[in-house]
A and B are shown apart, each in its own frame.
Chain A
């Protein structure tokens, strides 16, 4: 068969998704390689795309310094919760398998410019980064390690809030994590909170807001109640910049907004002010 007789098996096209990344915020097309090189920050609008917890660990810690803690702690189902879409236990199990991170927060020890720290990094992909009993337990244990080793604690939040499926037990994780951080602070150890997109509800109303320093990524959504709930309550449309990192900083609750590229060096610099050394 001559080449010109051959029928094309698939339409000849370059699959765009392998070449282009589309900014979720301004919809700009950015070459995928550039998007990656910019750590998933849009060169046009400065939107900081949500990152997985391991991507974040790689960005702010020294290479190969991260050692995970308490990987065995996972979700619990104290209510035997079931809704119209099925059982929470099944959803949690599927999420654990899909994400490979075990809970909505990855915790461990690491170094930042050779300074040892204890780190907790939330991942929005894990059930919306919701604060469940396993999440709270991992954070409490991380804080206890920091206390024991006399190292600073850094928590990076990305969460819609408490995990409804675990009911009151998830609410209590707010008190539990704050109790652990209170002890750390009493011991004079640094606690730095980094709020990324989004940090809302029960996470903003607990450990994310009580850092010695509250650091945010640009344009991250930060707030307590959801926009829709507030609009329904006050029967007014909210301003566009409402509950952004910039808005929250202007209202006095964020110390510094730090672009992703500068986060590691920024952390190293403030850790030194906090008395850390390698």
Chain B
């Protein structure tokens, strides 16, 4: 009997990956989301709901978590799996109350001397009528200012899509890490293509031009480290991918916790001040 050729699904090794290929991996429906990280990485998780102002945004999750032996405040965007969950999570697009909830929890982290771990995975902040009315811009802006001087160590991990201001709204910290197949960009490749090329189908070209993959961000001095993913992408082996994130988070926290708060805050300021200084 002739040997059946086994076609490995979703295998990308040995093929030169384009930025657009990586965008597909970063957006993969089966890519580990925050629910998976909580399940696989946290021995304990106490979810804390609501922004105490308007509501509880289900596209932003946060709470006390124990990672390894480390007690932290975990926050992150939430993408769902399947249509129902995704509708509840608004496909990972947070509203102002999401950013304000994240801020409230980070403030609590400072009070309880817990480091903040932030998992970033969003197409962007929600562009809706009510989000605008309730101050999407103000909510993000306020977080940027607040995180710059928060007196506790902060580790950011871009796990999937780092979508513009919606990502940055929970992504100011002492260490910015990125999974190997995550992307982080000022605008979606589709958005950029339709504005600058006036042609939405040029998204692959825009993705390449925008330099949104982890190695590009590393060489631009925006991120500190790249967390390796299993061959084929994080979705092929969630346990391994999450374990790598856990290790990176714990390693970085161990270093950050040894730094005095004054020095930490100065380093955080210097880190962002140096971005775009050539």
Residues on A close to B: CB < 8 A?
A: 76, 78-79, 81-85, 132-134, 136-137, 140, 162, 164-176, 178-183, 185-186, 201-202, 204-210, 222-226, 229-230, 233-234, 236, 238, 242-243, 251-253
A204 in contact with B127 (CB, 8 Å) = no
User: What is the minimal beta-carbon distance from A76 to any residue of chain B, in angstroms?
Assistant: 5
Given known contacts A168-B184, A176-B273, A182 and B145 CB-to-CB distance under 8 angstroms? yes
State the majority secondary structure of interface residues on A: helix
Given known contacts A167-B210, A205-B136, A76 and B148 CB-to-CB distance under 8 angstroms? no
Bound complex: CA A133 to CA B276 (Å) = 5
B141 in contact with A230 (CB, 8 Å) = no
What are 24 A-B contacts defined by CB distance under 8 Å? A83-B196, A134-B276, A140-B273, A166-B276, A168-B210, A169-B276, A172-B272, A173-B275, A175-B144, A175-B147, A175-B148, A179-B145, A179-B268, A183-B148, A183-B269, A205-B125, A206-B144, A206-B165, A209-B141, A210-B144, A225-B128, A229-B127, A230-B129, A233-B128
Bound complex: CA A82 to CA B198 (Å) = 14
Query: Contacting B186 at CB < 8 Å: which of A162, A176, A179, A180?
Result: A162
Query: Contacting B276 at CB < 8 Å: which of A176, A179, A243?
Result: A176
Bound complex: CA A79 to CA B147 (Å) = 27
Bound complex: CA A78 to CA B148 (Å) = 24
Name 6 extra pairs, CB < 8 A, besides A230-B128, A233-B126: A165-B196, A167-B210, A172-B275, A201-B165, A205-B141, A224-B137
Bound complex: CA A114 to CA B144 (Å) = 33
**Is B224 on the interface with A (CB-CB < 8 A)?**
no
Size bracket, chain B contacts: 35 or more
**Is B172 on the interface with A (CB-CB < 8 A)?**
yes
B165 in contact with A83 (CB, 8 Å) = no
User: What is the minimal beta-carbon distance from B129 to any residue of chain A, in angstroms?
Assistant: 6
A78 in contact with B168 (CB, 8 Å) = no
Give chain B interface residues in 237-278, CB to chain A under 8 Å: 268-269, 272-273, 275-278
Instruction: List the 4 closest A-B pairs by CB distance, nearest first.
Output: A133-B276, A225-B127, A179-B148, A178-B144
B184 CB contacts on chain A under 8 angstroms: 168
Query: Contacting A83 at CB < 8 Å: which of B185, B209, B273?
Result: B209
B135 in contact with A168 (CB, 8 Å) = no
**Is B195 on the interface with A (CB-CB < 8 A)?**
yes
**Is B142 on the interface with A (CB-CB < 8 A)?**
yes
Bound complex: CA A173 to CA B269 (Å) = 12
**Is B134 on the interface with A (CB-CB < 8 A)?**
yes
**Is B149 on the interface with A (CB-CB < 8 A)?**
yes
Bound complex: CA A224 to CA B140 (Å) = 10
A178 in contact with B145 (CB, 8 Å) = yes
User: What is the minimal beta-carbon distance from A170 to any residue of chain B, in angstroms?
Assistant: 5
How many residue pairs between the two chains, A and B, have CB atoms under 8 Å in the bound complex? 187
Bound complex: CA A133 to CA B222 (Å) = 13
A78 CB contacts on chain B under 8 angstroms: 220, 276, 278
B202 CB contacts on chain A under 8 angstroms: 84
Residue in A closest to B206 when the chains form the complex, CB atoms: A83
A167 in contact with B186 (CB, 8 Å) = yes
A182 CB contacts on chain B under 8 angstroms: 145-146, 148-149
B141 in contact with A206 (CB, 8 Å) = yes
Give chain B interface residues in 142-177, CB to chain A under 8 Å: 142, 144-149, 164-165, 168-169, 171-172
A234 CB contacts on chain B under 8 angstroms: 128-129
**Is B187 on the interface with A (CB-CB < 8 A)?**
yes
B168 in contact with A207 (CB, 8 Å) = no
A224 in contact with B165 (CB, 8 Å) = yes
Query: Contacting A243 at CB < 8 Å: which of B132, B187, B192?
Result: B132
Residue in A closest to B148 when the chains form the complex, CB atoms: A179
- When each residue 107-141 of chain B gets 1 if its CB lies under 8 Å from chain A and 0 otherwise, what string results? 00000000000000000011111011111111011
User: What is the minimal beta-carbon distance from B240 to any residue of chain A, in angstroms?
Assistant: 27
User: What is the minimal beta-carbon distance from A95 to any residue of chain B, in angstroms?
Assistant: 15
B145 in contact with A181 (CB, 8 Å) = yes
A209 in contact with B142 (CB, 8 Å) = yes
B186 CB contacts on chain A under 8 angstroms: 162, 164, 166-168, 170-171, 202
Bound complex: CA A140 to CA B124 (Å) = 25
A180 CB contacts on chain B under 8 angstroms: 273
Query: Contacting A176 at CB < 8 Å: which of B135, B211, B275, B278?
Result: B275
**Is B212 on the interface with A (CB-CB < 8 A)?**
yes
Query: Contacting A175 at CB < 8 Å: which of B172, B195, B210?
Result: B172
B209 in contact with A82 (CB, 8 Å) = yes
Query: Contacting A84 at CB < 8 Å: which of B133, B168, B198?
Result: B198
Bound complex: CA A242 to CA B128 (Å) = 12
User: What is the minimal beta-carbon distance from A86 to any residue of chain B, in angstroms?
Assistant: 11
